[in-house]
Amino acid sequence: MNDAAGSVPSAAEAALAADESAMGEAARWAVELLTAPGLATEDALAGRFVPSFPFGLGGGFVQRLREWREKGPFTVEGYEPVAHKGWVVLRGGDGTRHFLSLTLDSSGLLRLLTFQPETVIPDVRGWDEVEDLLRTEGVEHSVLAVRLTADGPVVLHESAADRPMPTGSAYKLFLMRALLVAIDEGRVSWDDEVVITPELRSLPTGDMQELPDGARVSVRETAHKMIALSDNTGADLIADLLGREAVEAALAPAGHHDPSLIRPFLTSHEVFELGWGDPERRAEWARRDEAGRRELLSEIAGPITVRISDLGETVHQLGLDWFMDAHDVVRVLDGLREDSERDADGVVEEILTAYPGIPVDRDRWSRVYFKAGSSPGVMMFCWLVEDHAGRVWVLVLRQSSAEQKFIGDGLFLRGVGRRIIESGLLAAGPDSAGAGAGAGVGAGASEGKPAR
């Protein structure tokens, strides 16, 4: 921090100091961990982190802080809070810029705290530059950018958009649509409650796994956490409430082009348990057909035995993920937008816009939906953005690899998405009337053509 007597704080320091939100308070505290005269003790750390904080709060994390502090002294050069996530840019003693990244749970406790060299994403001026950025040895990637028009989606750019790929928590968008069908049909209401049980408790992301057995939470709050915090336990509670059969019946109407790719529709609990539990069961899953896999799911019912520390090798290549192509993502987002516009109470819009994923220029964008998805070897981000003239675009970015080390923590792919949205590439597509949009074309649609 800028401690010189009489010095004028930078704009970033002033923004951090002025943020009175839970994120602002947590970010200032985290910066102090790196800039205070002395190293924090374990007692000083207690009570600031969720119980499941992945690094623990013993000597190991104190040693990690010591290593981080050695890169100082630090100057705050950037601060960006976005709902429950925040990033502080710190310039170290050797001039290197670092990201101090924070993720809070709904009570304001730190769920994640990381410190790493800044991921620099250059400006992009064309889709060829986007493709160059994403082209990485050992990684499959896919890009789809479309303009939504009254005549259907019009492709601005696509690469491998028709390829089914694992997408991690993007499945929660389809679960949200299945929930809205149940609400429309009167089978479920927002005020209904779900109940935490050991059998339905999953692993983070999210914070509902910290609730005690028997805790009751409204469907509205649970759905909010499922989307805004990507809460895995919340998603599993919604899936249990609806039933697997009802969720699967909603996949095709929600826009999935081939629901067999995502059947049986897995809960996060089941993916964790099969993916990183008993290796014999994992191999058995890869061998079995759909009917056999359903039998296997009945055999693993019960409290979760896997822990976050067990996650390591990639398992999506064994069919343990949620598979869809990029056009499926566009359709489910567009369907949710339509659901929101039919919802006179505004609950759907409140949920979908709670976390935009990146800082949003509200002078430019009136609506932003966002969903991320990740698991070892999988990273995806998607946005639906609408400007003040009512024009709507969807951007889908996906990566997958047989090795997690090639994918990283998502800051890179998130940064590419931000650059695209800020660059004007989306608005550079077809005119506002959507001229030429039609019923759709097959694989290989060129830029400015209708999507399938």
**From residue 236, how far is each of 39, 163, 226, 246, 379 by CA, in Å?**
40, 27, 9, 14, 21
Q: What is the Cα–Cα distance from 423 to 445, expressed in whole angstroms?
A: 23
Enter the pTM of the model: 0.89
Q: Please give the tally of structural domains in the chain.
A: 2
Does 107 lie in the same domain as 42? yes
Is 191 among the domain residues? yes
Q: What is the Cα–Cα distance from 315 to 209, expressed in whole angstroms?
A: 23
Domain assignment of residue 404, given as a range = 127-199+210-265+321-423
Phi and psi dihedrals of 312, rounded to 5?
-160, -85
249 HSE (CA, 13 A, CB side):
8
Q: What is the Cα–Cα distance from 391 to 96, expressed in whole angstroms?
A: 40
Does 418 lie in the same domain as 340? yes
Closest CA to 108 of 68, 81, 89: 81
Does 146 lie in the same domain as 66? no
- What is the CB neighbour count within 10 angstroms for residue 223? 28
Does 82 lie in the same domain as 190? no
CATH of the domain at 70: 3.10.450.280
Is 443 among the domain residues? no
Angular region, 244: left φ>0, alpha ψ -120 to 50, beta rest: alpha
Residue ending a domain, among 54, 82, 117, is 117
Residue ending a domain, among 88, 117, 146, is 117
CATH of the domain at 402: 3.40.710.10
With a CB cutoff of 8 Å and minimum separation 6, the contacts of 70 are none
Going residue by residue through the chain, which has 452 residues, state the pLDDT in tens, using 9 for 90 and above.
444 444 566 899 999 999 999 999 999 999 999 999 999 888 888 889 887 776 555 557 888 999 999 999 999 999 999 999 999 999 999 999 999 999 998 889 998 899 999 888 999 999 999 999 999 999 999 999 999 999 999 999 999 999 999 999 999 999 999 999 999 999 999 999 999 999 999 999 999 999 999 999 999 999 999 999 999 999 999 999 999 999 999 999 999 999 999 999 999 999 999 999 999 999 999 999 999 999 999 999 999 999 988 998 999 999 999 999 999 999 999 999 999 999 999 999 999 999 999 999 999 999 999 999 999 999 999 999 999 999 999 999 999 999 998 998 899 999 999 999 999 999 876 544 333 333 232 233 345 666 66
Output the CA torsion sign for 443, 173, 83, 92: negative
Residue ending a domain, among 93, 117, 141, is 117
247 neighbors 182 (Cβ within 8 angstroms): no
Does 153 lie in the same domain as 260? yes
With a CB cutoff of 8 Å and minimum separation 6, the contacts of 20 are none
Closest CA to 232 of 279, 181, 255, 266: 266
Q: What is the Cα–Cα distance from 319 to 217, expressed in whole angstroms?
A: 32
